[in-house]
């Protein structure tokens, strides 16, 4: 029996027009509570406009944006009490310390001094800024400011956190620290995280589901595996395999599985071309035969390849793919 998960974000026919330009076109989206959902698309695709409508900061032309059942247009105060927002460029008072900035946020949210102190201490510790809390924000790196932005959101203790390009302009080490924090917000706290981004590889690491935006339309939504299976149905999948021991016996084992069309060696890897995803059957056989699995990867299904395929289907060219996405796709 499948248990339906609680939906915390839902849009119904959500549409936003600016004159003759349709920024968001009949968007129907559902985000499950406690999940990490990625909104993906090039600049101008409608991601930020969607976020603004969810926050109640701009009114839709038609349709509804619902957060925990509250209409963001009709009940903006209730929605704002449930949502924390981290924009792509977080604004802080540069001459104040990180801790003083958070106290200002706490006061705006009506927290007592005692409660504010508790939440601020916990939030700074959570994002790794406990020792930097008394430094002026003007001395912070971009990565530190983004982590302070998450602390700022946590002071509010929201159910839903919306982030707009949170990792943009941060060095690789800082990105990984930030992704670990974001993952913890969902897995450990049970919060829902909605991320707008075009940095595909980063999003694939942490998101439970993704939605692909093109010209205001949500053209695909689901987990990476679900989207890949839909998109690549009928095409041969490439499966990378490495085990101990290796050799001819392993090759014969692989050939015995229905769906394996060919096997080639590439260095110390076996590459299996398959008519379907045979990973479960393969794992069962490997375990039964006491092989040690070192590497198993389905090459054909990656967020980059999915994004490119869907974008090609919708646009027929690469022209509007963001610079970062194009380079990621080109480097595969």
3-class secondary structure, 21: strand
Predicted pLDDT at 323: 36
Higher-scoring residue by pLDDT: 316, 9: 9
The CATH number that domain 7-227 falls under is: 3.40.50.300
Determine the Cα–Cα distance for residues 247 and 236; give it in Å rounded to an integer. Answer: 24
pLDDT over threshold 90, residue 174: no
CA atoms lying within 13 Å on the CB side of residue 32:
14
Q: How does DSSP assign 55-80, residue by residue?
A: TTSS--SEEEEEETTEETTT-HHHHH
8 Å CB contact between 163 and 194: yes
Determine the Cα–Cα distance for residues 134 and 96; give it in Å rounded to an integer. Answer: 9
Alpha helices per DSSP H over the chain: 47-54, 76-82, 98-108, 113-126, 142-155, 172-187, 200-206, 224-231, 248-255, 279-288, 303-315, 323-330
The tens digit of pLDDT for each residue in 246-303 reads 999 999 999 999 999 999 999 999 999 988 889 999 999 999 999 999 999 877 566 7
Q: Which residue ranges make up each domain of the chain?
A: 7-227, 233-298
3-class secondary structure, 142: helix
The CATH number that domain 233-298 falls under is: 3.30.70.100
Cis ω on the peptide bond leading into residue 245 (within 30° of 0)?
yes
Mean per-residue pLDDT, 27-51? 91
Residue 19 structure tokens: 């004159």
Residue 148 structure tokens: 């302070």
């Amino acid at each position: 029996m499948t248990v339906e998960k609680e939906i915390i974000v839902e849009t119904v026919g959500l549409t936003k027009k600016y004159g003759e330009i349709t920024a968001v076109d009949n968007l129907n989206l559902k985000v499950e509570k406690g999940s990490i959902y990625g909104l993906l698309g090039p600049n101008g695709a409608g991601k930020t406009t969607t976020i603004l409508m969810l926050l109640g900061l701009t009114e839709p032309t038609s349709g509804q944006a619902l957060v925990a059942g509250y209409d963001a247009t009709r009940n903006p105060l209730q929605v704002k009490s449930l949502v924390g927002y981290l924009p792509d460029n977080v604004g802080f008072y540069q001459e104040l310390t990180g801790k003083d900035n958070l106290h200002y946020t706490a006061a705006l949210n009506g927290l007592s001094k005692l409660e504010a102190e508790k939440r601020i201490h916990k939030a700074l510790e959570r994002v790794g800024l406990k020792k930097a809390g008394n430094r002026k924000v003007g001395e912070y790196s971009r990565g530190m400011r983004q982590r302070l932005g998450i602390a700022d959101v946590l002071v509010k203790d929201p159910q839903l956190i919306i982030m707009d390009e949170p990792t943009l302009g941060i060095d690789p080490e800082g990105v990984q620290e930030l992704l670990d924090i974001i993952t913890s917000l969902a897995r450990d706290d049970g919060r829902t995280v909605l991320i707008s981004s075009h940095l595909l590889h980063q999003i694939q690491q942490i998101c439970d589901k993704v939605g692909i935006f093109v010209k205001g339309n949500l053209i695909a939504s689901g987990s990476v595996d679900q989207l890949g299976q839909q998109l690549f149905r009928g095409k041969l999948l490439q499966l990378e395999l490495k085990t101990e021991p290796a050799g001819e016996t392993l090759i014969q084992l692989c050939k015995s599985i229905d769906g394996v069309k060919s096997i080639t060696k590439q260095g110390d890897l076996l590459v299996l071309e398959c008519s379907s995803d045979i990973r479960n059957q393969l794992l069962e056989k490997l375990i039964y035969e006491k092989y040690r699995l070192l590497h198993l990867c389905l090459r054909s299904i990656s967020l980059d390849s999915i994004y490119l395929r869907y974008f090609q289907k919708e646009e027929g060219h690469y022209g509007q793919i963001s610079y970062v996405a194009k380079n990621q796709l080109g480097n595969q």
